Amino acid sequence: MKKIVVFASGSGTNAENIIKHFASNEMVTVEAVFTNNPNAKVIDRAKNNGVPTEIFSKIELNESKVLQKINLIQPDLIVLAGFLLKFPENIIAAYPNKIINIHPALLPKYGGKGMYGMNVHRAIVDNKEVETGITIHYVNEDYDEGGIIFQKKVTVLGTDTAEVVAEKIHDLEQRYFPEVVEKLITENSK
């Protein structure tokens, strides 16, 4: 059985989508959802789908407490699905090329510290970009700079607001993120 751990900080729609995608899979399971936000909606989404949650502080993340909890699970893949804190080097070193993130833009554009959610979508609209998309990438020591695994583009119309762009990106995330996770975890088992 292949094991996934998901990290999320907010509403958890991507986390829930991944949980549901693997719910009937006999070869892959989402073992836990980790969050740094005790008020995150992802906690209820995980609970409603029978997945345990781990709530931790930024200090616990940057020290060894979160790594110790991850090591108890021994995941085959760690998936960052709307996780807003910088991932610590001790976890990256312990799980090389086993940590992935989804970013709501076509990296390397619109990446880096502070570039998440509506901040990205507003920048896309303000800069009159004609396309944007999603990037799924490996996590390294720097924000949004790990190797790119998958990108999917979508057109941005001149009349699109940041909210419209957000909807387009959400649709791409919901459609492609679970598929890419499944492909990665399946290929890594060969």
Return the percentage of the chain with pLDDT > 70, whole number.
Answer: 98
> Is 146 marked within a binding site?
no
- Nearest Cα neighbor of 76 from 141, 21, 5, 125 is 5
- Tens digits of residue pLDDT in 115-127: 999 999 999 999 9
User: How many domains is the chain built from?
Assistant: 1
Query: pLDDT-derived band of residue 162, with 50, 70 and 90 as boundaries?
Result: very high
Q: What is the predicted pLDDT for the residue at 143? A: 86
- Tens digits of residue pLDDT in 61-71: 999 999 999 99
CA 20 – CA 152 distance, rounded (Å) = 22
Q: Judge whether 165 and 117 are in contact, CB under 8 Å.
A: no
Q: What is the largest CA-CA distance in the chain?
A: 49
Pairing relationship of beta strands 77-80 and 99-103 according to DSSP bridges: parallel
Q: Which two tokens stand for residue 66?
A: 């979160």
Q: How much is the mean pLDDT over the chain?
A: 96
pTM over 0.85: yes
The CB density around residue 170, as the number of other CB atoms within 10 Å, is 14
Report cis status (omega within 30 of 0) of the bond before 178: no
Terminal-to-terminal C-alpha distance of the chain: 13
Q: What is the predicted pLDDT for the residue at 187? A: 81
Q: Judge whether 50 and 19 are in contact, CB under 8 Å.
A: no
The single-letter code of the amino acid at 14 is N
| Structural domain containing residue 59 | 2-188
User: What are the residue numbers of the active site?
Assistant: 103
The single-letter code of the amino acid at 170 is H
> Is 13 marked within a binding site?
yes
Q: What is the predicted pLDDT for the residue at 180? A: 97
Q: What is the predicted pLDDT for the residue at 189? A: 56
